[in-house]
Chains A and B, each alone.
Chain A
Amino acid sequence: MSQIDPEQIKVILATDCGSTTTKAILIEYIDGEYRQTQRGEAPTTVEKPFANVTAGVLNSVSEIGELAGRRLVDDDGHIISPATDSEGCDIYISTSSAGGGLQMMVAGVIAEMTAASAKRAALGAGSIVMDVIAANDGRRPHDQIQRIRDLRPDMILISGGTDGGTTDKVVQIAELVAPAKPQPRFGSSYEMPIIYAGNKEARDAISSVFNEEGFDLQIVDNLRPVLERENLGPARDKIHDIFLEHVMAQAPGYEQLMDWTGAPIMPTPGAVGDILQTVARLQGINVVGVDIGGATTDVFSVFDETFNRTVSANLGMSYSISNVCAEATMPNVLRWVPFDMDERELRNHVKNKMIRPTTIPQTREALMFEQAVAREALRLAYKQHKEFATTLKGVQQQRTVGDTFSQQTGGMTIVDNMKLNLLVASGGVLSHAPRMHQTAMLLIDAFEPEGVTMLAKDSIFMMPHLGVLASVHPKAAEQVFERDCLVYLGTCVCAKGTPKPGKICFKYELSGDCTESGEIGGGELKLIEMGMDDRATITLTPARGIDLGAGPGKKLEREVRGGTVGLILDGRGRPLVLPEDRAACQKTVQGWLDSLDVYAEEKEPVAV
């Protein structure tokens, strides 16, 4: 991989090799800015009969080439580089989650401290965390060893102890891992990579524990050198290195693919996290992103420059739909459906979707039910994310008399919906909803944003490509993210508090591209049309006890922008409460759906 001057990059080719589909995009420098111009896709070819990922890559790239009228693949089946006026690209980059992505096991001494930091490092690197082993996880040592034996991770991350602290506890964890002889997922000749990122005083002891055949020990800086600070970078970089050198190298065709790319191949979720962090940093905003798939839901957040990612392993819309219904319970799913459904039939429908995951809803009722399940999957995934994205636990805090009535301990969630500026949606059920209004409504109902929040969706699941592009050309990545990746749905203004039904929740006054004023009652939802390019200043006057961002009852003025849906004013209150009586709940939900025109006839439906 040779270093390329970013200024010389005018044509960028990027692919994301997913489990089922390889998606390619072309980015070109046109009239002084970078724009995504073409996209193509083809089935991923990791499995037989092809068993070579590059076949799917070349198919998707060839599709782009045909669309763009630009020859991108030569007669020998190689990507042409550098670019000329009519052919090739200046850089080719890729992400991958094919073959189940990166799967890790992590271990630490204390579940809430070093083990939690290790989990954050693994998740941040784009891994699925199969299990977290900790000295205080409530399992007996032989149960922990059995669990380690049952798992087949790609690598193991061990952490524990602060630098200079006691060494015996972290060595004890290592002594559980080594005799368990965990088997890797790929190949019997593969040595299990162990990353040690704990107390530096214990390095020699750890080395002697893993000084036997079958382990490849790598030592990096402690990811929790002191209790008050995490240092996740070195562990995360090492995870990426091992992902490339060991895991990817085992997958068919990846060695060839790595030769083609101008930047290291990244795990897909790691790349999504990178682009969201880049955007949050460059724009100085707080961002939450969600990617809901068939099996899992990933939630990413950046609050005050602190990044967190969680993977809810069994919350998804096809493979895991039955688990969503079991975890959320059927009454919680059905509260979002404004008509009666037979529960026995519904249970069978859910299981049929689970065993035939590629089917799509044909009727409006089936669509409404799936979107009800999606609300619950997103709600549960966000709840898990909030519980995980916390301030560091185990940090000693000095208190003064002034703190007596506002005691805050370590481990408080840093996810604050009132401080959230941008909520980004991706994944089939959100991206392919027939109406964007449905996407907006799903996001608001599930995430319950507070105050003023922009809503957007990833147009064609381009965030992974832009994440890896950000590592070589941040400017191009940011420009494409802003102009082509995000489809802005609009802005929502949501009241926090318990508004009284029939009473005024807040007053609003708009000036700018849209001029309007009025009142929003308790429990009311209102949609104001504001186009993609419309900007306005909104002045909000909340009722007593209602907070829109400036504090309970305090007036607020903010800039808002429109989108494909518009400006949504939400007077339902937070937390969102639905009537317990089934008939009343159906009536309420139907009223909300009507207010936002959620299931109106669409002239131009979205292809699925």
Chain B
Amino acid sequence: MAKAYTPGLLVTRHKKHRCIRRLPIEGDVKVAVGDRVVADDIVAETALPGDVNPINLSNMMSLPPKDVIDCMLKKEGDLIALDEPLAQSKGMFGMFRTIVHSRYEGTVETVSPVTGQVIIRGAPLPVQVRAYMGGEVVAVREHEGCEIEADVAYVQGIFGVGGETHGRIVMACDSHEQELTPDCISEDMTDAVIIGGARMTVAAIKKAQSVGAAAIISGGIDDQDLKNLLGYDLGVAITGREDLGITVIVTEGFGDIAMADRTFAMLKDYVGQDASVNGATQIRAGVMRPELIIPLAQVPADTHDRDSETGELAIGRTLRVIRDPWFGMIGEVSALPAEPHVLGSGSKARVLEVKFPSGETAIVPRANVELIWE
């Protein structure tokens, strides 16, 4: 029988982390290999072609399309200002001329003799890519971007909303099982990355928004609260572009669920340090989970890079059950039967036996657990 692998979310006090910073189209890279950067540094920039605005002069001047070009006051490539005359009809005997003023500012890109349509291209749109994470530039991709590497402590969340941000870590809850409510949030949490415990309420998130916090992270959230926060029911887990003014990450899942004790304890050790946070989640092929990255000034002596480890299931490994009827419970693998097992649903699937801290054991499909990295 082949070895069984089960994915788990990575939570580690040390890993060498590399992030790729890339422009959407070619542009200028502002850093060189060996440069040290901080999260807010601009590492690359470019200008996207401006907005395209069509004007149908043929319709507006009641002219056949092929005659439009003779009425143009501006040629292809000319700059044009808002309300500046763009075209003028010949009128009758030089009288009754119609002048069309430009509704847009930009450059005349094309004049079509087939449709009588003029395309005005707006000013280029500047795009800047920031470092996002403090570290060293280890590679530069010409005209495209760069790669930044650092020794970091790293927490992978299960779901998030909102994009990249950074701030100092503050603890809002005393334990990993404490619900994150508005009274846990204080006015001095501006620009902070707030760490909660168990379920966070929508009222707490809104309080954090109002004090100007950068991000809020806790064990769980109710779906109804997420709906209230976003203003719509999220259909598919493709997020990161929400304009909430705050990034929200849950580390465990939806419902009343506490943050893993180990994650909470680790984050508590880094209070006051700067953390980079991204809520972007994409649960499709090429899965992307939200993350919290804490660049380390010093590499801990007794840790090693976690990326080299596998997700192999073995007796004694710690795991979390991620589906009912034991959703959220943490235990240890106590047996790995090779033969498929008949479930209560009537299906037959490969299972494992898990032993909970209470001493109770349960048979769970292997598909319904995820490893917790020790």
Contact = CB atoms under 8 A, between A and B. Distances in A.
Interface of A: 19-20, 47, 99-100, 141-142, 145-146, 167-169, 171-172, 175-176, 179-181, 183, 188, 202, 205, 209, 295, 314, 319-320, 322-323, 326-327, 344-345, 347-364, 366-367, 432, 434-435, 599, 601-602, 605-608
B60 interface: no
Nearest 4 A-B pairs (CB), nearest first? A323-B235, A434-B346, A367-B345, A348-B255
A9 B54 CA distance: 58
Nearest to A313: B236
Contacts of B132: none
Contacts of B237: 319, 322, 354-355
B349 A360 contact: yes
B26 interface: yes
A362 B65 contact: no
B373 interface: no
A500 B121 CA distance: 66
A362 B158 contact: no
Given A183-B25, A344-B224, A350-B223, 20 more contacts: A19-B285, A20-B285, A171-B115, A179-B52, A202-B114, A319-B283, A320-B235, A323-B235, A348-B223, A351-B234, A351-B253, A354-B237, A355-B253, A360-B347, A360-B368, A364-B344, A367-B346, A607-B347, A607-B348, A608-B347
A179 B109 contact: yes
Q: Which of B234, B235, B253, B325 has the most CB of A within 10 A?
A: B235
29 contacts: A47-B286, A141-B53, A141-B54, A145-B54, A179-B109, A181-B49, A188-B26, A205-B114, A314-B235, A319-B236, A322-B233, A347-B224, A347-B254, A348-B253, A351-B253, A352-B255, A354-B283, A355-B159, A356-B322, A360-B368, A361-B345, A362-B345, A362-B365, A362-B368, A367-B346, A432-B347, A602-B346, A605-B343, A608-B347
B254 A606 contact: no
B3 interface: no
A179 B222 contact: no
A175 B110 contact: yes
A351 B254 contact: yes
B253 A352 contact: yes
Given A47-B286, A352-B323, A601-B346, A168 B222 contact: no
A20 B367 CA distance: 15
Interface residues of B, number: 57
Of listed B56, B233, B344, B345, residue having the most chain A CB within 10 A:
B345
Contact of B283 (A167, A355, A364): A355
B52 A364 contact: no
B149 to A, nearest CB: 18
Contact of B344 (A19, A183, A319, A363): A363
Nearest to A369: B324
Contacts of A142: 51-54
Contacts of A601: 346
B234 A172 contact: no
A99 B285 contact: yes
Contacts of B325: 362-363
A347 B102 CA distance: 52
A434 B114 CA distance: 62
Interface in B34-53: 49, 51-53
A158 to B, nearest CB: 14
Contacts of B284: 100, 295, 319
Contacts, number: 181
A322 B234 contact: yes
Contact of A356 (B24, B114, B323): B323
A607 B347 CA distance: 6
A142 B223 CA distance: 36
B323 A360 contact: yes
Contacts of B110: 175, 179
Nearest to A438: B346
B51, B54, B121, most chain A CB atoms within 10 A: B54
Interface in B355-371: 364-365, 367-368, 370
A212 B76 CA distance: 15
A358 B343 CA distance: 16
A601 B115 CA distance: 69
A99 B235 CA distance: 22
A295 B56 CA distance: 41
B291 to A, nearest CB: 15
B8 to A, nearest CB: 11
Contacts of A434: 345-348
A364 B345 contact: yes
Nearest to A329: B233
B112 interface: yes
Contact of B367 (A100, A146, A360, A363): A360
Interface string B118-140: 01010000000000000000000
Given A142-B52, A168-B114, A355-B159, A605 B347 contact: yes
Contacts of A20: 285
B73 interface: no
Contact of B235 (A327, A359, A360): A327
A362 B112 contact: no
Given A171-B114, A352-B323, A314 B347 contact: no
Interface in B138-154: none
Nearest to A181: B49
Contact of A179 (B121, B235, B346): B121
Nearest to B342: A605
Contacts of B370: 356
A320 B324 CA distance: 19
A434 B365 CA distance: 15
B156 interface: no
B349 to A, nearest CB: 5
Contacts of B255: 345, 348, 352
B349 A175 contact: no
B171 to A, nearest CB: 25
B340 interface: yes
B119 A175 contact: yes
A230 B56 CA distance: 31
Given A322-B235, A352-B254, A347 B348 contact: no
A297 to B, nearest CB: 13
A608 B349 contact: yes
Nearest to B7: A358
Contact of B345 (A319, A326, A327, A366): A366
B165 interface: no
Contact of A359 (B112, B119, B285, B368): B368
Contacts of B218: none
Contacts of A352: 253-255, 322-323, 327
B278 interface: no
A175 B117 contact: yes
Nearest to A101: B285
Nearest to A371: B345
Contacts of A360: 323, 343, 345, 347, 349, 365, 367-368
Nearest to B364: A362
A326 B235 contact: yes
Nearest to A180: B52
Interface in B158-173: 158-159
A326 B54 contact: no
Contacts of A179: 52, 109-110, 119, 121
Contacts of A347: 222-224, 254
Interface string B10-38: 00000000000000111000000000000
B105 to A, nearest CB: 14
Nearest to A366: B324
Interface in B189-244: 222-224, 226, 233-237
Contacts of A209: 112
B347 A606 contact: yes
B254 A100 contact: no
A566 B117 CA distance: 64
A320 B234 CA distance: 10
Contacts of A47: 285-286
B115 A172 contact: yes
